Amino acid sequence: MTASGSPAINRERLHRRIDELAQIGKLGDTGVCRLALSQEDLQGVLLVKRWMDEAGLQTRIDAFGNLFGRLPGKDAGKPLLMAGSHIDSQPYGGRFDGVIGVLGALEAVQSMAEQGIVPAMPIEIAAFCDEEGCRFNKGLFGVRGITGKLEEGELERTDAAGVTRREALLAFGGDPDAFEAARYQEGAVGAFLELHIEQGPVLEALGRPIGIVSGISGPLWLTVEMTGFAGHAGSVPMPMRRDALVGAASVISALNALSRSEPGAPTVGTVGALTVFPNSRNIIPEKVTFTIDLRDIDMERRRERETQLWRILEEVAQEHGLSYTVREDTNSEARYCADRIKQVMHEEAAELLAYAPPELMSGPFHDSLAMSHVCDYGMIFVRCKDGISHNPLEYSTPEDIELGVELLYRTMVRMSTVEGEEKGG
């Protein structure tokens, strides 16, 4: 398995937990649906909490719906080392996205405790609430909560059934009145580590099971509403129509061309959700609402594409006689991993593997994106088959996951003992 012998982690326990958690919200043979703040999400959180309790960690579910498990350190006053991810899923998701980051971090800390390793500072394992953002159309809720980055009106966002986030959070056991008390004070977290499946094809193309992340692209999420005028599909002449769907289609096609305009650039643009009103086969569409997801690691290039996108929206609206509104749901800059953490990972990987793992950027955002604004962060990617994620076909081999968790374990030991002692004097 490795260049340096047997792993320190308990592989059987790790995979047993991954399989057991995958039964909650199971879709078909391999998929899961655990929407944020749903009953399935709560069942998953309580199961992981039970495992944290069994591992001897101090556990709590906070006001934002985040789950934490804490391993005390020699010095309770030192900035803590945090590791984790999320266990909520897309509506048509896979069993590994986010999950290996939470259960991998739990396995690493539990293995440390079983081996009598006492960290210099406290370590917290986090399962953050609503990373995905698919239910209320804005993600990273829990991690932005503890870092003080929630925006006005977030609790009033509604899901497809009209349930507000406030209502869902209260049913989950959260407490909006306790948000301020649940925030982490500045400097409380010294570093954050996250293990995650790659959700892309790079590692598989390179023939490497794990990689070290260099940074996370900056995501821009917009919700666009284009409005025209409804009419009978059989009687309104084509030149007289104000068809909102034709306008939306023009914008969607232009976004695709815009995202491909620089060959080799990592720019990506996606329209993933679209609703049509009144949605009848013989009525000209009056109103179309659709999402835009635009990402790039190069912020200057992303801003240029955003400027071009606004121009396209205006031109399309004028051409088709439409009005439009745009709501900004997320706008984050690209964030780069800390060199000191990457160095530790590379050094530990040199002991673990017979080769140097590649560095690669992350197109998807992660909880690390929000944590990067309050502390240094580092990420490890695990290869996934065909680069598939957000799909029941998402798959990483047990062996690849083990390597990722083993590197996470070694990084945590190094940062919480040797590195921690050096920083603490």
Instruction: Please tell me the distance from the alpha carbon of residue 84 to that of residue 123, in angstroms, as a whole number.
Output: 11
| Residue range 153-175: mean pLDDT, rounded | 97
pLDDT at 423 over 70: no
Instruction: Please tell me the distance from the alpha carbon of residue 337 to that of residue 376, in angstroms, as a whole number.
Output: 7
Q: What was the pLDDT predicted at 420?
A: 59
Instruction: Please tell me the distance from the alpha carbon of residue 404 to that of residue 195, in angstroms, as a whole number.
Output: 7
Residues above pLDDT 70, as percent of the chain? 97
Tell me the pLDDT tens digit for each residue of 397-406: 999 999 999 9
pLDDT at 6 over 90: no
3-class secondary structure per residue, 357-379: CCEEEECCCCHHHHHCCCCEEEE
Instruction: Please tell me the distance from the alpha carbon of residue 197 to that of residue 397, in angstroms, as a whole number.
Output: 11
Tell me the pLDDT tens digit for each residue of 292-331: 999 998 999 999 999 999 999 999 999 999 999 999 988 9
The strand ranges marked E within 156-201 are: 189-197
